[in-house]
Amino acid sequence: MTLLLNLVLAVLMLLPQQQDQKARQGTYAITNARIETVANGTIENGTVVIEGDRIIAVGANVAIPAGAEVIDGTGLQLYPGMIDSGTNLGLNEVGSVDETNDTNEIGDITPHMSALTAVNPNSVAIPVTRVSGVTTVVSESAGGLLPGTAAVINLYGYTAEQMTAGSEMLILNFPQEPSGAAQGWGPQRSAQERKKGYEDAIAKLDEVFDRAELYDRIMTAYAASPAGKAEPVYAPEMDAIRPVLSGDRTLMLKVNAEGDILKAIDWVKERELPNVVFSGVSEGWRVADKLAEAGIACMVGPVLATPTRSSDRYDKAYANAGLLSQAGVKVAIRSGETENVRNLPFNAGFAAAYGMGQEEALKAVTLNAAEVLGISDDYGSIEVGKKANMFISTGDPFEPSTQILALFIDGFNVPMESRHIDLYREFLNRDEGRLQPMEVLPADN
């Protein structure tokens, strides 16, 4: 252990960030590392070269460009940045302080609300998250039937433009059929009221999509030839739904209960929506064959959750992602977290341990996630031409004992700084002086 730590220290002394606390792009060569490409297997003692925001070389025998900053990865591992396909990161800051929370807009039908607008690039939780190796997340608005578009963001940048990973998804909270089981906390409604509420919600959903189809027809016709046609009304809600009808934007349909999943599969089919993924899907294992048959990818999680039914086996939430995957469903894993998105690798680790296997679980937080989010041209694996989102670790990032040592996002070598690390440095040996020198890493004691 001590040997490894010394090694780690030696390596880190070489890392440019230790001299310069600003994230920088440049030409970097990470050498002699065990590279988990995800797309093309593992490369022992390999090298990755980054230039600007892209990976320009990956392999066991790669020439290091002149002037490249070399990071010796001997004894270390290189992974593609992990992707969390369901969070509220950047939208919520302090849970109980309403003024700091921007997930829920007023209204039931607000698909034109863009999460990218409200993601706070300076959220304290963002650095806390990325130092775990999670470089990209889906940040979701919430509430109502159509709460808005979720943003896919990289966890470094000062503006939305710098952070976006180039994809957005329209969120649909699929109506939940009322359960006959005991209701949770909150004001109790009668069974009839709840049934009525559900039926109304389903009717409303169809009505909204009927309107959107009509609107799309009008807009298409108007765009083709406006002459002699009245200018269509301003309907930003409908505008926001249009790309989902065409398939240009993915519909992220949030659904959990067995019956609701079945209903949602039928609904998607009936409406002939071309580009839909399901999110949550906590009872997906119950209908895994149906999901596989429908070819609907699932963003599953959180994995660290109790079973959905008191009669379920205790580990069902751990096993869900693996059961879906084994049935042939494409699975990405989501943490459902805000300030603890850093637990994504642990969600994946539990899924791996309970039937999914390490390889599939790693895919579920890298390449599968990128594919499901429509960003796999740029993200999700260590391949030439992709964006340089990756991290260097002492081992398997799903293992809590592993330390994440360095981080690249869009080619930026991002300092391993966060409030949690800063406080550690300040307070570990408080009485011996308030501020510790930067050489003292979190891994050190």
Binding residues for other proteins restricted to 271-290, rule: CB under 8 A: 282-283, 285-290
- 325 near other proteins (CB under 8 A): no
Structure tokens at 291: 């999901």
- Cα–Cα nearest to 112, from 191, 212, 197: 212
- Nearest-approach distance from CB 132 to other proteins, in angstroms: 8
Dihedral through CA 191, CA 193, CA 199, CA 200, nearest 10? -170
The interface with other proteins within residues 50-89 (CB under 8 A) comprises none
In angstroms, the CA 297 to CA 123 distance is 30
Q: Specify the stretch interacting with other proteins by CB under 8 A; choose among 195-203, 213-221, 384-392, 419-427.
A: 419-427
Closest to other proteins by CB, 25 or 358: 358
Chain mean position to CA 208 = 28
- 184 near other proteins (CB under 8 A): yes
Closest to other proteins by CB, 139 or 338: 338
The interface with other proteins within residues 116-135 (CB under 8 A) comprises 124-125
Q: Is 22 exposed, middle or buried (0-12, 13-18, 19+ CB in 10 A)?
A: exposed
- 420 near other proteins (CB under 8 A): yes
- Nearest-approach distance from CB 224 to other proteins, in angstroms: 46
- Cα–Cα nearest to 405, from 30, 43, 54: 30
Closest to other proteins by CB, 39 or 304: 304
Binding other proteins by CB under 8 A: which of 41, 180, 433, 437? 180
- 427 near other proteins (CB under 8 A): yes
- Nearest-approach distance from CB 153 to other proteins, in angstroms: 18
- 421 near other proteins (CB under 8 A): yes
Closest to other proteins by CB, 172 or 441: 441
Beta pairing, strands 134-139 & 148-154: antiparallel
- 309 near other proteins (CB under 8 A): yes
Token pair 């180039």: residue: 166
Token pair 């879906």: residue: 324
Chain mean position to CA 348 = 12
Binding other proteins by CB under 8 A: which of 53, 93, 105, 237? 93
Binding other proteins by CB under 8 A: which of 258, 360, 371, 410? 258
The radius of gyration computed from the CA coordinates of the chain, to the nearest angstrom, equals 23
Tell me how many residues contact other proteins (CB under 8 A). 82
From edge to edge, which strands make up the β-sheet containing 297-300? 82-87, 134-139, 148-154, 164-173, 250-255, 276-280, 297-300, 331-333
Structure tokens at 61: 């025998």
Residue 38 Cα distances to 104, 119, 262, 323, 366, angstroms: 36, 29, 32, 21, 8
The interface with other proteins within residues 289-308 (CB under 8 A) comprises 289-290, 302, 304-308
Binding other proteins by CB under 8 A: which of 195, 313, 438, 439? 313
* Binding mask of the shown chain, residues 190 to 229, with x at each position contacting other proteins by CB under 8 A: ----------------------------------------
Binding other proteins by CB under 8 A: which of 19, 61, 96, 122? 96
Q: Which residues pair with 149 in a beta bridge?
A: 114, 170
In angstroms, the CA 348 to CA 80 distance is 15
Phi, psi (degrees; rounded to nearest 5) at 22: -90, 145
The interface with other proteins within residues 327-356 (CB under 8 A) comprises 327, 336-340, 342-343, 345-346, 349-350, 352-354
